[in-house]
């Protein structure tokens, strides 16, 4: 299948990055969100991020203006109707994603491929509630999308080979590397990464270390480029909690129970970088630990 037009649902930190790389690779992109503010911020951010690539000499000013001209935004899901591929990147909540696919389906061409950028939710279950489970799969980018090389491709039980090949060809055209994962809670990367982040929050909760010592210990002691709490803020604490809940519910093992302190931060609305406060406070010149 020839994919030319990509519809992206959700213009948050992932949606804007996905729009950025797809437009630069030559795809026409229509980006949807429920919030005009999110759409405006996403476009401004894409412009800034692509400009940085121009100033580093990686692409030309002409590449930038062509990419920006390929992106349109809309508050109306129906405008994604002509898309060949949909990448859903809205909030990590199953009811939200289900409602999006339900509203979208009547506007789509029969051959359109549906995908979700979900970090953890069952692809098979999302697919089963659509009219095309064979043309549905997980298309899981890493954050920040323009920088990270990996895309996890997750087949649901019913996903057919043509759909997998079409999505793989998009990953190739983006210049990224696909890793194939089976449809079990949180797939590969987050199945391993999130329990580590959750354990770092337990280490903080139990007073074994503070934010600074925990992050420094993992950076200097395990050679991680970012500390786990810094990384949690970067991902978004609501997303981290949602993924831990999916692991806990889906695998029914108490080793995946979310740390109560992670829940507390989310209850406070301290979701990390996107709300300027999480394990660090980002409102000043330099990030300051909050514990």
Stretch that binds ligand NAD, among 56-64, 89-97, 153-161, 257-265 (CB under 6 A): 89-97
Tell me which residue of 145, 95, 135 sits closest to 3, measured CA to CA.
Answer: 135
Q: Which of 49, 143, 169, 210 binds ligand NAD (CB under 6 A)?
A: 143
Contact 181, 152 (CB under 8 A): yes
DSSP state of 277: B
CA 173 to chain centre: 19
Instruction: Let me know if 117 is a catalytic residue.
Output: no
Stretch that binds ligand NAD, among 47-55, 57-65, 210-218, 234-242 (CB under 6 A): 234-242
- Residue number, 27 or 141, with CB nearest to ligand NAD: 141
Q: 186: number of CA atoms within 13 Å, CB side?
A: 21
If residue 291 lies in a helix (H) or strand (E), which one and from where to where? none
Tell the burial category of 114 from Cβ atoms under 10 Å away from its Cβ (0-12, 13-18, 19+): buried
Instruction: Let me know if 119 is a catalytic residue.
Output: yes
Kindly give the pairing relationship between strand 150-155 and strand 136-141. Answer: antiparallel
Instruction: Let me know if 38 is a catalytic residue.
Output: no
Q: Which of 73, 119, 124, 203 binds ligand NAD (CB under 6 A)?
A: 119
Instruction: Let me know if 140 is a catalytic residue.
Output: yes
* By the rule CB under 6 A, 153 interacts with ligand NAD: no
* By the rule CB under 6 A, 91 interacts with ligand NAD: yes
Stretch that binds ligand NAD, among 104-112, 134-142, 204-212, 222-230 (CB under 6 A): 134-142
Stretch that binds ligand NAD, among 21-29, 85-93, 167-175, 220-228 (CB under 6 A): 85-93
From the list 119, 120, 122, 198, the catalytic residue is: 119
Q: Which of 35, 60, 76, 180 binds ligand NAD (CB under 6 A)?
A: 35
Structure-token match 């983006």, residue found: 174
Rounded Cα distance between 242 and 248, Å, is 10
* By the rule CB under 6 A, 138 interacts with ligand NAD: no
Rounded Cα distance between 124 and 134, Å, is 10
Give me the residues that bind ligand NAD (CB under 6 A), please: 9-15, 32-35, 38, 89-92, 96, 100, 117-119, 140-143, 235-236, 239, 274
Active site residues: 119, 140, 152, 190
């Amino acid at each position: 299948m020839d994919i030319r037009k990509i519809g992206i649902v959700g213009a948050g930190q992932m949606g804007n990055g996905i729009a950025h790389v797809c437009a630069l690779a030559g795809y026409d992109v229509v980006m949807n969100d429920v919030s005009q503010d999110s759409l405006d911020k996403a476009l401004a951010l894409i412009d800034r991020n692509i400009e940085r690539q121009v100033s580093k000499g990686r692409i030309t000013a002409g590449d930038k203006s062509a990419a920006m001209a390929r992106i349109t935004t809309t508050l109306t899901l129906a405008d994604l109707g002509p898309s060949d591929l949909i990448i859903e990147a809205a909030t990590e909540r199953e009811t939200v994603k289900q409602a999006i696919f339900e509203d979208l389906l009547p506007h789509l061409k029969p051959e359109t491929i549906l995908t979700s950028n979900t970090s953890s939710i069952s692809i098979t279950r999302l697919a089963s509630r659509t009219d095309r489970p064979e043309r549905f799969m997980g298309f899981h980018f890493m954050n920040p999308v323009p920088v990270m090389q990996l895309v996890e491709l997750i087949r649901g039980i019913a996903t057919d080979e043509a759909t997998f090949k079409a999505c793989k060809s998009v990953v190739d055209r983006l210049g990224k590397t696909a890793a194939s994962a089976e449809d079990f809670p949180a797939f590969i990367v987050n199945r391993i990464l999130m329990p580590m982040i959750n354990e770092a929050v337990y280490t903080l909760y139990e007073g074994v270390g503070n934010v600074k010592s925990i992050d420094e210990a993992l950076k200097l002691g395990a050679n991680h480029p970012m500390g786990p709490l810094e990384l949690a803020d970067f991902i978004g604490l609501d997303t981290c909690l949602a993924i831990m809940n999916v692991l806990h519910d889906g695998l029914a093992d108490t080793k995946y129970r979310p740390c109560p302190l992670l829940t507390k931060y989310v209850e406070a609305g301290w979701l990390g970088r996107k709300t300027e406060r999480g394990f660090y406070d980002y409102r000043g010149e330099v990030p300051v630990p909050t514990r």
